[in-house]
Structure 1
Amino acid sequence: MTIRLLQPEDITQQLQGQLTELYHQLNSEIKQLSLKTILEVPDAIDVVCCMDGNTLIGIAMMANYKVVSGFKGMVEDVVVSELHRGKGIGRKLMEKLLERATQRNLNDILLFSGHHRTAAISLYKSLGFNLKSSGLYVKKLN
């Protein structure tokens, strides 16, 4: 099992297919962008994957951006295969993203998690994330 940053040259049809299957475990209604599209702008997003041989078993992403209040990272789409949950893979994916955030000199790392995802919330808290007392508002555009 290896945890590593995904590079554009790593993308294959097989990997893309595995990502599609993995995300269906999270939410089958998610409209997915291709990995090629996600990685086409250098440094805009970090994608960390967990591979077991040639099989994708976990992934986590961090969008990087800057605003007046500083350099930020937004963690999105942390997914571990149902067959491999409870083995510390989510922690290793998150630790790799946090390492990358340190390398990028980011000021804040943000993430959102559903209140029902108690295992994920416990993981995030153990990594030093704190619940912020603000609301999240979403407007779907398409």
Structure 2
Amino acid sequence: MKIRKAEKEDVPVIVQLLTNDKLGKLREDYKDPLPDTYYHAFDNIFNDPNQELVIIENENGEVIGTLQLSFIQYLTYKGGIRAQIEAVRVHEAYRGKGIGKKLFQWAIERSKQKGAHVVQLTTDKKRTGALAFYKSLGFTDSHEGMKLHMV
């Protein structure tokens, strides 16, 4: 298995992964061809040194998982860097096989390399399986998150 930086040609399979769950079906628009908004977002992520969109491939080179890692510079914690993990997905045929754990191990190590003092994530409270998985990796539900949807 190989984890690598996502390329533009990976965008359709990444969006397909994002769509393949109850919540993703409600907010994504996977079709062929993909809406240009996904490629525009990919270009912004790809060109931002504080964003890393990665995929994990199986032995045949097929994309079987993805996550986005963002590095947030701020003034608190003496000008610390916070790493934010988002959009974690593993292809349904590969769930329960340690793929998510490999992605998180990579993200945590990468965060250390970038000098982050904390790695955080958000997840929908409806994703009970994901919550249990994150706790098994050592994450704690230490804060209450809130959102204001603008659309």
The normalised TM-score by structure 1 is 0.83
Higher relative contact order (CA 8 A, sep 6+): 1
Structure 1 residues not aligned, in runs of 5+: none
1:50 corresponds to: 56
Q: Deviations over 1:67-91 (max 9, x none)?
A: 1112111110000111111111111
Kindly provide the amino acid, as one letter, of the partner of residue 51 in structure 1.
E
Residue 12 of structure 1: how far off its partner (Å): 4.4
Q: Percent identity?
A: 25
* 1:19 aligned onto 2:29: no
The normalised TM-score by structure 2 is 0.79
Paired with 1:89 and 1:21, the residues of 2 have a C-alpha distance of 17
Q: Could you tell me whether the CA contact under 8 Å between 1:50 and 1:56 is conserved in 2?
A: yes
* 1:84 aligned onto 2:94: yes
- Aligned length in residues: 135
Instruction: Give the 3 Å change call, closer, same or farther, for CA 12–115 of structure 1 in structure 2.
Output: closer
Q: Could you tell me whether the CA contact under 8 Å between 2:4 and 2:56 is conserved in 1?
A: no
The structure with the greater share of residues assigned to strand is 1
Paired with 1:33 and 1:63, the residues of 2 have a C-alpha distance of 17
Structure 2 residues not aligned, in runs of 5+: 30-36
Kindly provide the amino acid, as one letter, of the partner of residue 19 in structure 1.
I
* 1:38 aligned onto 2:41: no
The structure with the greater share of residues assigned to helix is 2
Residue 97 of structure 1: how far off its partner (Å): 0.3
Write out the 4+ residue segments of structure 1 that deviate beyond 4 Å after TM superposition: none
